[in-house]
Amino acid sequence: MSRWDGIDEFVATAEAESFSQAARRLGLSTSGVSREVARLEERLQTRLLYRTTRRVSLTDAGRAFLARCRELIHDRDEALAAVGEEDGEVKGLLRMTCSSAYGERYVVPAVNAFALAHPKLSLHIELDDTVRDIVSEGFDLAIRFGRLTDSRLIAKRLASRTRRLCASPDYLTRAGTPTTIADLEGHAGVLGAADTWPFREGEREIAFKPQGRFRCNSGQAVLDATLQGLGICQLPNFYVDPAIAERRLVPLLEDNTPADEGVWAVYPHLRLLPAKVRLLVEHLERGLG
C-alpha cells in the first residue's frame, strides 16, 4: 500500500463535497472513492470528513490536511509534467474555469481546437460566474475580466471587451431616447449583478446607479429582457453586438462608453509553468485576441 493512496480521492471529495461527484471527476466508482478515503483516515487515525446523507464536509483536521495535500498533488503533477514534456508531448489533466457566457461563446471553442491538436491532454472546464479561488481549488488556469488584485496569480492579457448601453426600438419609441448620462434618470434599467454602470465623460470616469424593476445575475437573461422591451441595459459587447447588427437593439451614449476591460488568463505563481498551461495560454491569446 502506497502512502499516496487515498489522497487524490480525499482532495476530490473535499472539493466536490460529495463522494459521487468526486468519483465522476476521477473516473472511479463511488464506493471505491469512499473506501480509499476511509482507509486514509484509518492510517492517519484521524477523521478528515463528516458524512451525512446529503453532503460531505471537512473536519478541522481535514481542512488543514487538505491544504497540504493540494500542495503535494500540485508538486507531484508539476514534476511528472516536467518529465513527460521532455518528449515534446502535452499530456495530463488541465483544470480551468471561466464565466459561463464568454466561456461558451469563445473560450471553449478555442480550447476544443487545442485539445484536438494534443490528444494526450485531458481537460476539465468549469463554467460559472463565480470568481473561483484557483489556488485553493486546484485549477491550473482561469479566464478573468477587468482589474485583477490577487498577488498569488500571474496574469496575461488575451483580449479586451467593451460594455455597451442599449435598448430595443420598441422601448425607445415608448420612453424616448436618452442623449446624456443624466437622461438615464428617467429610464427603466434592466439590471445585472452590478449596482452601477460605468461611463466616461472626457477623461472622467462616472458610475451611474440605474433603477429598474428587473434584475438578474445572468447576462443572457438581461439581454432577453432588454430585447423584450423592459428597459435599457449595459452589457459586454459579446452579448449585444449580434442584436445591434440585426437592429433588434439600438446602441446608446456611444461617446460615453467606458474604457475597455481586459480579458486575462490567470494562473498561480509556479517555479516551472507546465507546458500544457503555457501552450494553451498562447493558443488562447492568438484565438481570442
Per-residue pLDDT tens digits for 25-57: 788 999 999 999 999 999 999 999 999 878 899
pLDDT at position 1: 59
In the chain, which residues have pLDDT < 70?
1-3, 78, 80-88, 151, 270-272
Amino acid at 84: G
Taking the C-alpha atoms of residue 39 and residue 2, their distance in angstroms, rounded to an integer, is: 11
Q: Decide yes or no: CATH 3.40.50.2300 for domain 92-158+263-288.
A: no
The predicted-structure confidence for 130-156, as pLDDT tens digits, reads as follows: 888 887 777 889 999 877 777 678 889
> b vs e for 11-43, b when ≥16 Cβ sit within 10 Å of the residue's Cβ?
bbbbbbebbebbbebbebeeeebbebbbebbee
The pLDDT assigned to 83 comes to: 64
Cell of 81: 509534467
Tell me if domain 7-83 and domain 92-158+263-288 are identical in fold: no
Q: Does domain 7-83 have CATH number 1.10.10.10?
A: yes
Q: What dotted CATH number matches 163-259?
A: 3.40.190.10
DSSP of 267-288, one letter per residue?
Answer: EE--SS--HHHHHHHHHHHHHH
Q: Residue ranges per domain, the chain?
A: 7-83, 92-158+263-288, 163-259
Query: Exposed, middle or buried, 254 (CB in 10 Å: 0-12/13-18/19+)?
Result: exposed
pLDDT at 43: 92
Write 50-55 long-range contacts (CB < 8 A, 24+): 55/17, 55/18
Q: Which of 161, 163, 228, 162 is nearest to 190 (CA)?
A: 228
**Degrees, nearest 5: CA angle 81-83-88:** 85
Run of H or E including 171? helix 169-175
- The answer to whether the CB of 250 falls within 8 A of the CB of 169 is yes
